[in-house]
Structure 1
Amino acid sequence: MTHAELNTDIAKAHSSDFQEITEVWEASVRATHHFLQEKDIQYFKPLILNEYLWHVYLFCIRNEKQQITGFLGIAGNKIEMLFIHPEAMGKGIGKKLITYAIQHLQATEVDVNEQNEQALGFYLHTGFKVVNRSETDGLGKPFPILHLALANSTIIS
């Protein structure tokens, strides 16, 4: 995938996209969540596909071949998911999705795995600040979670 292949239009995702979204999730997690073991990925993958995607409003960006390169999941004012395919990382897709979430969906909160330094740096750079910490994730697994809130109403570029 080259930069020229990227299409940065954000569109609502549908249940027919769930399998592809889960594949993007898995590729992204394998590239960024080095603290997870294979058994952890295999544990979360069916939960993503069969449960979690049903509980968020999903938006995605596709390349010119109509492949999903990144997606965003929102519930209330919280970003529940934001994942970019590894081949599309560093090309502005994450920034475009988070800007959309803040400006159009009134997102003001996000949780991030403390051990995912790349994602934490991204959220801090885009105007979020750490407001709390949990020792475990929402399922009680030993993956500390940082709770972030938007520091102000504009994104820092």
Structure 2
Amino acid sequence: MIEKITPNEIDSVADIWLEGNLDAHNFINAKYWKRNFPVVKERLNNAEVYVYKNDQDIAGFIGLNGNYIEGVFVKKEFRSKGIGKELFDYVKELHDDLIINCYVKNFKAINFYRVNGFSIKAEGIDKDTGESEITLIWRK
């Protein structure tokens, strides 16, 4: 089941964010993600976030800022079960187009986005990490 985040779910979602970033971005120093953790946790209070629940547990989430996807993360034990696709499909119903940035070295994520209908729009450098990234877009 997918639903909007509630205030009492922010800690769980923030933990999934940190775990997911540490796991997917081992090419970036872990201190970067840990340093940003409190800021992200605070921003979750005002963000448009949808959680996927497996029974009562949050298995994953997707966060939006307008049509920009700030992130999509699924707990390690729930990956490769279609949850990320369901989250994408859910927000695709709410928008005519979606945009997401992804580090070039995150091959699994790029493949996942492309399988879900996103195409590469631009390339650049993330000013915070110095890593190459791409911008992907999806249109109805």
TM-score (norm 2): 0.91
**Correspondence 1:127 to 2:125:** no
Could you say what secondary structure the match of 1:91 adopts? coil
Rounded Cα–Cα distance in structure 1 between residues aligned with 2:89 and 2:58: 18
Could you say what secondary structure the match of 1:120 adopts? helix
Task: Kindly report structure 1 stretches of 4+ aligned residues shifted beyond 2 Å.
Answer: 104-107
The match for 1:59 among 40, 50, 59 is 50
Rounded Cα–Cα distance in structure 2 between residues aligned with 1:106 and 1:60: 21
Rounded Cα–Cα distance in structure 2 between residues aligned with 1:67 and 1:105: 27
Equivalent residue, structure 2, for 1:47: 39
Could you say what secondary structure the match of 1:35 adopts? coil
CA contact (8 A) 2:22 2:30 kept: no
In 2 relative to 1, CA 107–72 (structure 1 residues): closer, same or farther, beyond 3 Å? farther
Rounded Cα–Cα distance in structure 2 between residues aligned with 1:21 and 1:73: 10
Could you say what secondary structure the match of 2:45 adopts? helix
**Correspondence 1:20 to 2:5:** no
Farther off after superposition, 105-114 or 69-78:
105-114
Q: Unpaired runs of 5+ in structure 1?
A: 1-8
Percent identity among equivalent residues? Answer: 24
What's the Cα RMSD here?
A: 1.5
1:87, CA displacement in angstroms? 0.6
Rounded Cα–Cα distance in structure 1 between residues aligned with 2:24 and 2:126: 19
1:15, CA displacement in angstroms? 2.3
Residue type matched to 1:68 in 2? I
Equivalent residue, structure 1, for 2:62: 72
Q: Which is richer in strand? A: 2
Rounded Cα–Cα distance in structure 2 between residues aligned with 1:28 and 1:59: 16
Rounded Cα–Cα distance in structure 2 between residues aligned with 1:105 and 1:61: 18
Deviation sequence 1:130-156 (CA, Å, 0-9, x none): 11112124xx32122211111x42xxx
Deviation sequence 1:108-127 (CA, Å, 0-9, x none): 21111222111111001111
1:36, CA displacement in angstroms? 2.0
In 2 relative to 1, CA 107–24 (structure 1 residues): closer, same or farther, beyond 3 Å? farther
CA contact (8 A) 1:110 1:148 kept: yes
Q: Unpaired runs of 5+ in structure 2?
A: none
Could you say what secondary structure the match of 2:111 adopts? helix
Deviation sequence 1:82-114 (CA, Å, 0-9, x none): 111011000000000001111234442111122
